[in-house]
Every structure is written in C-alpha cells, then in structure tokens.
Structure 1
C-alpha cells in the first residue's frame, strides 16, 4: 500500500481557453490533514471538482488507493470512500437533525434499505444516527429542525452526514467559512477528531486554522502549485508571501 492515498499527475482543466488548473501534481499522504490554500481564483475549488468527478479533466490522471479513477463516474469514486462534505444546502432544512443523518446512513446502505419497511429497521438506523450525532457533539440537537440550527452547528452536521457514508478520505471545502471564533474552534476540534482514522484534504482560507491543524500544505496560484510543505516552510517562502501580497491573509495568520 502506497503511503500516498491520492495522487494526481499533470492534472489540468481548461474552460474555453482559460486554464483554471495547470499541470497539478498533488500527493496526499495517508492519514494526513492536507490543506489546499492560495489566493482567490487559484483553482482550489476546480481541483476539488476534478477529484470528485464533478468535472472531467482536460488532461492528467487521478489515482486513489493506487487505482486510476480519472474517468470514473462520481458515484463509483464516492463508493471507493473518497467523499466530499457538502455545504448545508445539501441537507434537508425542514427535517430534524436526526432525520438528516438517517438519510445519510440510508444512502450508504443503498436501495436495499427502505425506511418505510418497518419500525424496527428504522430503530437500527436511529441508534446509528444518534451515535454519529454524539460523536460530533450534536446529540442534544437531534430533534431540532435543521434549518433552525446555529450556523457553526450546521457545518458539524454536514460533517456528521458525510461520516455516515464512511469515507476513507474526506474533502472539506472551506469548513470554517463565515464562522465566529467559538464556532471555528469547535469545528477545528471536530476535524481533528474525525481525522484520527482517515485522510482529509481541505480548502481553507483561514490560515490560522491551517497552521494549527494541517500536516501538509499545498499552495496554489493561477492554477499551478507554487509551494508545498509544512506551514512553517510555506509561510516563510518568499514566493508564497508575494502571491498573497494585496491580501492580508498571511500577515493576519502571523499575529
């Protein structure tokens, strides 16, 4: 088994003459929390969309667990355990928190498990859903209508519903975006916990989060990898500092 769970080679995506991602060779080590950072428009989201098959690459290959998955259908890739956590719009706002997690569990179990079958089968799911909620510190919100949840807790729920799909590797797209300090700390603690037995690749703007959480960091700019390494190495790299000039991100993270 390779130490790298995910590897891309020459990953490239062009949109009508505009190169959004250009020759990206990304290696994510098994068990790491790996961050993808860079100024706006650097191509971070496009890389995520390529990895999860929302977009076909113009060129290059993607290997997961040693298998070439470049041309695979999104659902097939997801079944392999490479799963992206969706923003809360992907959950059902009018259902309770428990019901949302239960739907995640049903998806994992596939069509063989229909929730109207029997009360008993539902209880099995309830127990599993409750255990998942407890694991992300949402037990007391089980009966809350999802749409009425505080913002930071909604992000924890997204992570819980993603965990229901039993990912080996989780892609988190800006998990702390729009959060206040207290919520950020809670979500960082949650990511750290979730990462204990899986690999995480995250796009994150908040560099103090990246500094505290991530084992390895890849800096993208204009669709290409500019630098890679630990936060220590990357934050001192003159090329990286220059790429962030005009944005106060790097400066802020140092304080």
Structure 2
C-alpha cells in the first residue's frame, strides 16, 4: 500500500461531476462518470488507451461540452460555462505537449503567465519595465519548483523534464484551486519522473490535483485516490491498493488471462 493511501481525505470537494457523458455522432465516448476531487489531494484518472481519460479532462475544463451530466467547481455549476471563465474561476490544466515559449528565459515565461492574474495581459501600451513588479512572485515560483538555477536559461535549452516543471510553474502562476495535469510524466527518464513526482506532491499540499497518468508506479506512490476508466465508464475507484487488486482493472490492462 502506498504511503498516501492511509491519509484521511480532506472533506472539501472542490471539483465534482455527476452523470457526465459525451456522445460523438452516435458513439458514446464517456458515460455516467461521477468524480469528486478533494482539496490538497492528488486524484489519478487511469485506464488503457482509448478509455476516455482525455475526453473527461476536456469535459471538466469545458474544451468539450457534455452531452449530459453536471459539473461543479467550488460549489458552482459550470456545466454551461466557457473554458476561459472556468480557468479564471480556478480550474487550470496542462497538456501532453509542453506549452512554453522556447525563446524566452525561464523567468520570462513565468512573468508572462503572471500578467493575467495581475491585470497586465491586455495593457500592451505599458513599458516593459511595468513587468518588473512581477519579479518577486516569479522568483518565488521558480524557487518553489527548483528552477532558480535555470532562471536565465532559454526554455528551449532545458531538459524535457525541466520544461514540464516550467509548464507547471506557468500554470501555478494563475493560482489555481484545481490543477489538471495530462500525462505529466510522458516521455521522461526515471530521474525526471522522480523529480516531477516530488514537485506534484508538494504542489498538492495547497490545491487539488487531478492527473491522467500511465506510469502506475507514480500513481501508487503519490496519488490519494484513483479512478479507473474503460470504454468511457468507471470500472473501479478507491486507493491504489484497492483498484490494483480489482479483477476488472487487471483484465482492462492485461486482457483476459484465461
């Protein structure tokens, strides 16, 4: 059993879905999905390829509109809310492909991300020096995520793992209540995986994290709750020890062993 499994869950649900479903031209991609994501906890969404994980992410962040069901963020119904407003309400996501500005430095990338919450994103007439007031917060984010040694490096020159950490830093600049991470460990070597897993664990002490992840060792190590999808439906949910012992989960990942 992982160390996180024994912890008592925070009772505050910050993101929930009930009866969530999505159809595409007669094909049901997601069906009757219920989720509760808690503050200061890491919740994993796992399943074999084609299980509907990314579709669920897109529904929760409103990149897709649900065919049916209800989504609540911090107690507010966001089922019909546009994705930009959902982000401003505190639900922020990363993507499988790193989305940083390669020719800007690490510090500059974080300062760009800080412009919106600080009211500078549309004030293009202001001098560049107006961004200097963001430096203290940017430096603090870099320090929190171990990026200070790379503050003046171009993002393009970072290792793949450090680029993913920088992406997490830019999402944290928006001060989210709920952070959604889409396969944060994809393509990483073991050393980077350990580093990023530790950062995610630390990030989750102050906010909820919902992550799609294929690395089950990471899921076992850092996740408090696991929801398993197959063909768009939940087949198991609970701590990692519970879901990994479920025969339906074993069949979904390894096929029929008969």
Instruction: Provide the TM-score with structure 1 as the length reference.
Output: 0.92
Q: How many residues align?
A: 247
1:227 to 226, 236, 258: 236
Looking at structure 2, the residues matched to 119 and 240 of structure 1 have their Cα atoms a distance apart, in angstroms, of 53
What's 1:141 paired with? 150
- Equivalent pair of 1:133/1:142 in contact (CA under 8 Å): yes
CA RMSD of aligned residues (A): 1.8
1:52 to 40, 57, 61: 61
SS in 1 for 2:214: coil
What's 1:244 paired with? 253
Deviation sequence 1:159-217 (CA, Å, 0-9, x none): 00000000011000111111001000000010011111110000000000000000000
Structure ranking higher on relative contact order (CA contacts 8 Å, 6+ apart): 2
What's 1:250 paired with? none
Q: 1:111 to 1:127 in 2, by over 3 A?
A: closer
- 1:2 Cα deviation after fit: 6.6
Q: Which has the higher helix share?
A: 1
1:81 to 90, 107, 129: 90
Deviation sequence 1:68-113 (CA, Å, 0-9, x none): 1000011111111111023554221111111110010002223477
Q: 1:47 to 1:155 in 2, by over 3 A?
A: same
- 1:225 Cα deviation after fit: 0.4
What's 1:64 paired with? 73
What's 2:209 paired with? 200
2:159 to 147, 150, 156: 150
1:182 to 191, 203, 206: 191
User: 2:130 matched to 1:104?
Assistant: no
Instruction: Provide the TM-score with structure 2 as the length reference.
Output: 0.91
Looking at structure 2, the residues matched to 43 and 135 of structure 1 have their Cα atoms a distance apart, in angstroms, of 33
- 1:236 Cα deviation after fit: 0.5
Q: 1:69 to 1:175 in 2, by over 3 A?
A: same
User: 2:54 matched to 1:34?
Assistant: no
What's 1:23 paired with? 32
Q: 1:244 to 1:176 in 2, by over 3 A?
A: same
